[in-house]
């Protein structure tokens, strides 16, 4: 027999956005259900040192922070479900989501907080040195490379913005790009080329991230020239892969409007084009992509959903 779980508010995703939405929804008496997805806790569960989340003087661990957020959500009444959603029906309320084992989740409102994943190169050493010199977020990790040599891999807006940001901490930033011209906006390129702390390596593809030292960490990057095929090596303390992010929105293709894969919400709110469906965090935010902004949007989504339900309840009562 197929199990069905029903709630006033259904939350898909359990990163900072989803858990913040759950905390606010539970405190409002909506008994939210959080379907945690393939990566419970979101990207912070694979982030070691976190130094920019408000409220903590000392460095904290990403997995610990998410454990605390989940414990807080459960303490105030949110229910966690360990499942992976495979299909979604937004054609009518209550909305129905189906897990990979056939379990049905029904919600009067839905908060989508499935996040986004950084795109990686998929080369040797990248995974092994993740958090040990290789990162995909300069804003998150650049602080740890004060006064050190760093490289940024990419050629679009993200890469140029990361390189410019890193000059706040490093005096030696190298942008590595596989082509001979950048895709970034002209104004960003002008800022990049005018910054004496940044140099550019053209027509270079990363072959391998090289580890070593004590404690073990990144010590350099092996490169291949995309024109000549010549191999080279650049020594570095940190490498930032900046080739973009991919929002986790596959389930909603054809169901909700998107912009480059990100869910579109009404300006200043978390409301999507479908009444009763809200989006929060990195799944809709292509600009900031920070844990604290995701948490803030999670709060917004719960408040928006609570208002929507109150108005729907009033209209139903008035129609009787």
Active site residues: 137, 140-141
DSSP string, 76-99: TT-EEE---EEEEE-SSSSEEEEE
Dihedral class, residue 189 (left if φ above 0, else alpha if ψ from -120 to 50, else beta): alpha
Q: Is 146 helix (H, G, I), strand (E, B) or coil?
A: coil
With the C-alpha atoms ordered 190, 192, 193, 196, is the resulting torsion angle positive or negative? Answer: positive
Estimate to the nearest angstrom the gap between the alpha carbon of 119 and the chain centroid. 11
SS (H, E, C) 288-304: CCCHHHHHHHHHHHHHH
d(CA 211, CA 214): 10
């Amino acid at each position: 027999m197929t199990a069905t779980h029903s709630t006033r508010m259904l939350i898909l995703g359990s990163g900072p956005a989803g858990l913040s939405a759950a905390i606010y929804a539970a405190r409002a008496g909506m008994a939210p259900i959080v379907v945690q997805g393939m990566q419970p806790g979101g990207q912070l569960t694979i982030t070691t040192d976190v130094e920019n989340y408000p409220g903590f003087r000392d460095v904290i661990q990403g997995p610990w922070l998410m454990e605390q957020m989940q414990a807080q959500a459960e303490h105030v009444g949110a229910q966690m479900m360990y499942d992976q959603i495979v299909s979604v029906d937004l054609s009518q309320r209550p909305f129905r989501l189906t897990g990979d084992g056939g379990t049905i989740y029904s919600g009067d409102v839905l908060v989508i907080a499935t996040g986004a994943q950084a795109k990686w190169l998929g080369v040797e050493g990248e995974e092994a040195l993740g958090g040990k010199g290789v990162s995909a977020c300069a804003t998150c990790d650049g602080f740890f490379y004060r006064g050190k040599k760093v490289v940024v891999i990419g050629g679009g807006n993200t890469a140029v913005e990361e390189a410019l940001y890193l000059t706040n901490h490093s005096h030696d930033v190298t942008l590595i790009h596989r082509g001979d011209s950048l895709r970034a906006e002209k104004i960003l390129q002008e800022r990049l080329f005018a910054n004496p702390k940044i140099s550019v390596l053209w027509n270079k593809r990363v072959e391998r991230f090289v580890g070593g030292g004590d404690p073990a960490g990144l010590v350099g990057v092996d490169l291949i020239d995309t024109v000549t095929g010549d191999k080279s090596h650049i020594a570095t303390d940190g490498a930032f892969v900046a080739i973009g992010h991919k929002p986790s929105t596959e389930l909603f293709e054809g169901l909700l409007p998107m912009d480059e894969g990100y869910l579109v919400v009404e300006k200043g709110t978390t409301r999507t084009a479908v009444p009763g469906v809200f989006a929060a965090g990195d799944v809709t935010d292509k600009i900031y992509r920070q844990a604290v902004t995701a948490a803030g949007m999670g709060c917004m989504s719960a408040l928006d959903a609570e208002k929507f339900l109150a108005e729907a309840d009033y209209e139903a009562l008035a129609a009787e």
